[in-house]
Amino acid sequence: MPKEEVDEYLEAIYDIAGERGCARTGDVAQRLGVAPASATEVLQRLSRARLVRYEAYKGVTLTRKGLRSATKLKRKHRLLEVFLHDVLGLKGKAVHEEACKMEHAISDETEAALCLALDKPATCPHGSPIPECTAGAPLCQECGKSKTKEGLPLTDLHAGQSGKIKCVRGGRDVCQRLADMGLVPGTAVSVLRVAPMKGPIELCVRGCNLVLGRGIADKVFVQCEREG
């Protein structure tokens, strides 16, 4: 079976039944726009591949192997929706439809890079949760720091440190807000003061003083100058 067809069936079962529920063959066929007999044939093949448990007249559930595949596919789909909506500005049905086309093609490495570039979003534009990463890193934040060479977030700097912005992360609105403040790649910044108790950070940017909250400062990555 073509990989894309397998993906479509696993995703349909995931959407209909969730992680532990049972999906009826007729519901799967209706969702995919195929005849019930055709759906039955495919589900039997998936059962032989140990991706699903299929029982005639009862329905189908995902095996552990099938659930892993479906969850990874759903993660890619929803990350792509965030990218298409927040970065490219697509709206309405186009977001879902384009993500459906792209989700089968991106590699696990691209998925990880996309997650980091989007600042590890928790939900898609429709509010649905994005499944957690299964790359094996103990913490998402730890994964991000180990896989990027884009400097340190401003929140890791202390008063007196200086450097140049290497990149900013976040959606279109966040990037635009930072750009409006002059916080774009290549800009020199100096940390003047870091408030205690996770308070704001005061910076000097192009001769002007700015105060950033921790939430947005965490999205600005700086290559620090060597001290003394």
Q: In terms of pLDDT, which residue wins out, 228 or 119?
A: 119
- pLDDT score of 190: 93
For domain 152-224, give the CATH number.
Answer: 2.30.30.90
Confidence of residue 85 (pLDDT cuts 50, 70, 90): very high
Average pLDDT over every residue of 109-136: 81
CATH architecture of 3-62: Orthogonal Bundle (1.10)
Q: How many CA atoms lie within 13 A of 194 on its CB side?
A: 15
Write down the pTM of the prediction: 0.60
**Mean per-residue pLDDT over the chain, rounded:** 85
Helix (H, G, I), strand (E, B) or coil at 127: coil
Those residues with Cβ within 8 angstroms of residue 79's Cβ, 6 or more apart along the chain or in another chain:
111, 114, 115, 118, 121, 124, 130
Could you report the per-residue pLDDT of 16-52, keeping only the tens digit for each?
987 668 999 999 999 999 999 999 999 999 999 999 9
Return the closest-CA partner of residue 78 out of 27, 11, 31.
11
Q: Where in the chain is the domain with CATH 1.10.10.10?
A: 3-62, 67-147
Per-residue pLDDT of 151-209, as tens digits, reads 788 888 888 999 898 887 766 677 778 888 888 888 999 999 998 877 899 999 989 99
What is d(CA 23, CA 184) in angstroms, rounded to the nearest whole number? 49
Distance CA(100)–CA(110), nearest Å, equals 16
Enumerate the CATH 2.30.30.90 domain ranges in the chain, comma separated.
Answer: 152-224
For domain 67-147, is the CATH number 1.10.10.10?
yes
Mean pLDDT of 129-134: 79
